[in-house]
A and B are shown apart, each in its own frame.
Chain A
């Protein structure tokens, strides 16, 4: 049986980190991501900008059937006009071996800033979605997902 995972304190990206500067791109990744490496991955995308809450909605089951395939939808409130649209959507996770999940680049031709995909979660953790707007601002949302192992694991 698995140990109970101690949940990390939820970070508020708005206030948390004093201008740390850009994180080095070349780094030796640990075999298991941590909330800190997720922070670093987020910083490498947003730089020193502040990230606001709102506009972003994450659709993910709170309790997954199987961590190998979890349905995910990110929907962002935006008129998607040439003057005001979502430029990019980045999804991160806390405890998989790597913090990145997917990075999507769209523009006003999208009509609607919504993407759906299926991803993997190694453990119970928080998923973060960041929307990069055409005016350079960032918005984010997070969702907590519980992941359990199947009772009988297949041996190959």
Chain B
């Protein structure tokens, strides 16, 4: 352990984290009480809140508008647009983001929104799938997600999903990386406190894809989780990996009842 401290470019998070390792004992399943659930929105500055609340000044709207255009654009060998099957997204996509990831019977497992979009593209539109984190994928998920804004994240009662939620929960509580901390140790046990100058949020994915000021761009939950893992000096899960979907499933369960904010703005 002492070897790490002597490295010149030790990031702030690692330095503080060392203190955690010394002082913290892994608690048993310390879940945040329902009444204390808190979206990161609550801790935003006044101007950032205004940015999120007003579509006309939210940078994410640029992607939402692109998504709307894509929705209506014919694609692939089938020469169909999303609208040809789904009609108006304001109707057909309402509530979707609030209940994704969802169980896919054919695949006998959960799929997240990105995967569902690619399933539609390849199987129904006969088009090339979107690359994860590409402009098109972000535009599509932002547009579809936007249709659920304000709706509460649904608690899943799908029995087949239970083992996958459990797999996600296990990941959330597992120590990882050279820093050797679990998600729970910061986001369940120390939310509200500060890591260097950053406020530790509870970590609810209520607003993805979101415009992150640090990225100066829109980005997905998977990108954010990979950032955290890199922060822990762990090998980050690949885009589209089953671990990502399981973790998102669990995080959505953990955030059940909180309102969808897509597309949100965060520091």
Which residues of A are at the interface with B, using a C-beta cutoff of 8 A?
1, 61, 64-66, 68-69, 71, 148-155
Contacts and interface: CB of A to CB of B under 8 A. Distances in A.
Nearest to A65: B267
A65 B231 CA distance: 19
A65 B227 contact: no
Main secondary structure of the interface of A (DSSP, over half): loop
Given A1-B15, A66-B213, A152 B45 contact: no
B209 to A, nearest CB: 15
Nearest to B265: A69
B86 to A, nearest CB: 34
B54 interface: no
Interface string B170-198: 00000000000000000000000001111
Contacts of B215: 154
B44 interface: yes
B196 A154 contact: no
A96 to B, nearest CB: 15
B16 interface: yes
A101 B6 CA distance: 39
Contacts of B15: 1
B195 A66 contact: no
B11 interface: yes
A122 to B, nearest CB: 14
A149 B12 contact: yes
A155 B125 CA distance: 35
A150 B230 contact: no
B48 interface: yes
A64 B197 CA distance: 11
9 contacts: A1-B12, A61-B45, A65-B213, A68-B216, A69-B216, A71-B48, A149-B197, A151-B12, A152-B11
A66 B267 contact: yes
A148 B196 CA distance: 9
Contacts of B44: 65
A61 B196 CA distance: 19
A155 B173 CA distance: 24
Given A69-B216, A148-B196, A151-B12, 11 more contacts: A61-B47, A65-B48, A68-B214, A150-B198, A150-B267, A151-B196, A151-B197, A151-B231, A152-B198, A152-B231, A154-B227
